[in-house]
Amino acid sequence: MMIELTAVISPQRHRGPCARLRRPSHIMTGLIIMMVCLMQSVMTSSTLVAQQQSGSVSHGFLACGNQTYIVDSDGKKVWTYPHATRDGYVLENGNVVLTLNKGKRFDGGAVIEIASDSTETLIWKGTQSEVNSAQPTSSGTFVITEAGPNPRLIEVDRSGKVLTEFALACQKKNHHMQTRMARKLADGSFLAPHLLDFAVFHYDDKGVIVGKLDTTVPDDTEHAIHTWPFTAIRHADGETLVCCTHGNRVVNFDADGKINWQLNNEDLPGPWLQDPCGSQVLPNGNFVITSYAAGRADPNAPKMFEVTRDKKVVWTYTDGQTFGIHHFQILDTDGNKLTEPPLK
């Protein structure tokens, strides 16, 4: 709205349709144009918010991907960071921990922490092809996965000192498709989704494999359906939520490793699962899911949505952009801050 007002007040610097007050005889025309512009601006702003947040609830969240930003519960961007990211957390003190994509600044990726005054602290500089994830723990450490010729999981302190390190038992041919959102569990063990291995591996604190969750579709022995795991979220009584990316499905395993819930596009109002990557289990038990490819074919398709266990959609987020969201963190619901550690 302010942009339109400036255009009217400063006609010599703006040549749009709202900048035509050049002679006194045009005052009435100019006033009409100004009113139309203001109405269009208000309508556009209202429509934008409605498109971004719809449903019976509203959420503020951190988004990671080709663009990195925080959206409040009104659907407005309140913070941005000029770098593509793979994973991210907002800490209790408001600091933001980001897993940076590889690029000119860090050719192997990196993990940084950004304070409220924009001060950046380098937690870890990647030493191989890329850094895939970074989870801040309650003890102040960071669980990080590196992809490359020697894929590994490390746990470091804030100074970057390596406290835990072990090799990841994933394929080594395709570095980018080795690992996604590895997480440390309350018992000190780790879950790591290995995409091209079609499984979530469960490692103990020494790196010994103690279990696997197979994401292969039943009877798909040739792996024609690319149910590559992205998340491995331990929740409830030993359940694990897994987004299966190119397979366009989300599955939930019970404590015995059996699928007790799954979601595909037939369960939704439309083909909203387009490479589902990040997800989060909310305190109310609902699941929030983001589709990384949402927007490529249809910019108005939901980028994120919240669904209940009975598959009722209660919230959607749409931004009209062609790029997707890789992962996220829901920060508040209906303006109320989520205080429990995020399950994401």
CB 155 within 8 A of CB 161: no
List the domain range (segments joined by +) for residue 17: 2-46
Kindly state whether residues 158 and 216 are assigned to the same domain.
yes
Question: Could you tell me the two tokens for 256?
Answer: 């015995």
- Mean pLDDT, each 10-residue run in order, the chain (344 residues): 29 35 43 42 37 80 98 95 98 98 98 98 99 98 99 98 99 98 98 99 99 98 98 98 98 98 97 97 98 88 96 96 95 96 98
Task: Indicate whether 273 belongs to any domain.
Answer: yes
Kindly state whether residues 146 and 240 are assigned to the same domain.
yes
Task: Indicate whether 64 belongs to any domain.
Answer: yes
Kindly state whether residues 186 and 329 are assigned to the same domain.
yes
89: number of Cβ within 10 Å: 21
Q: Could you please report the per-residue DSSP string of 60-111?
A: EEEEEESSEEEE-TTS-EEEEESS-EEEEEE-TTS-EEEEEPPSSS-TT-EE
SS3 state of residue 241? strand
Task: Indicate whether 146 belongs to any domain.
Answer: yes
Closest CA to 98 of 327, 278, 339, 290: 327
Amino acid, res. 265 = N
Kindly state whether residues 190 and 223 are assigned to the same domain.
yes
205: number of Cβ within 10 Å: 14
Taking the C-alpha atoms of residue 32 and residue 36, their distance in angstroms, rounded to an integer, is 6
Kindly state whether residues 99 and 13 are assigned to the same domain.
no
Kindly state whether residues 197 and 248 are assigned to the same domain.
yes
Kindly state whether residues 156 and 264 are assigned to the same domain.
yes
Q: For 93, phi and psi rounded to 5 degrees?
A: -85, 5
Task: Indicate whether 342 belongs to any domain.
Answer: no
User: How many distinct structural domains can be found in the chain?
Assistant: 2
Residue 219's domain is classified under what CATH number? 2.130.10.10
**Can you give the pLDDT at residue 223?**
97
Taking the C-alpha atoms of residue 210 and residue 130, their distance in angstroms, rounded to an integer, is 26
287: number of Cβ within 10 Å: 23
Task: Indicate whether 51 belongs to any domain.
Answer: no
Packing angle, helices 27-52 and 2-9, rounded to 10: 160
Amino acid, res. 244 = C
Taking the C-alpha atoms of residue 140 and residue 178, their distance in angstroms, rounded to an integer, is 26
Kindly state whether residues 22 and 97 are assigned to the same domain.
no
**Can you give the pLDDT at residue 56?**
85
Give the pTM: 0.85
Kindly state whether residues 212 and 185 are assigned to the same domain.
yes
The tens digit of pLDDT for each residue in 279-318 reads 999 999 999 999 999 988 888 889 999 999 999 999 999 9
Task: Indicate whether 343 belongs to any domain.
Answer: no
Give me the percent of the chain exceeding a pLDDT of 70. Answer: 85
Kindly state whether residues 36 and 78 are assigned to the same domain.
no
Q: Could you please report the per-residue DSSP string of 3-63?
A: HHHHHHH-GGG--STT----SGGGHHHHHHHHHHHHHHHHHHHHHHHHHHEEES--EEEEE
Task: Indicate whether 344 belongs to any domain.
Answer: no
Closest CA to 68 of 47, 87, 53, 44: 87
Q: What is the CA radius of gyration of the chain?
A: 23
Task: Indicate whether 160 belongs to any domain.
Answer: yes
Kindly state whether residues 60 and 18 are assigned to the same domain.
no
Kindly state whether residues 162 and 220 are assigned to the same domain.
yes
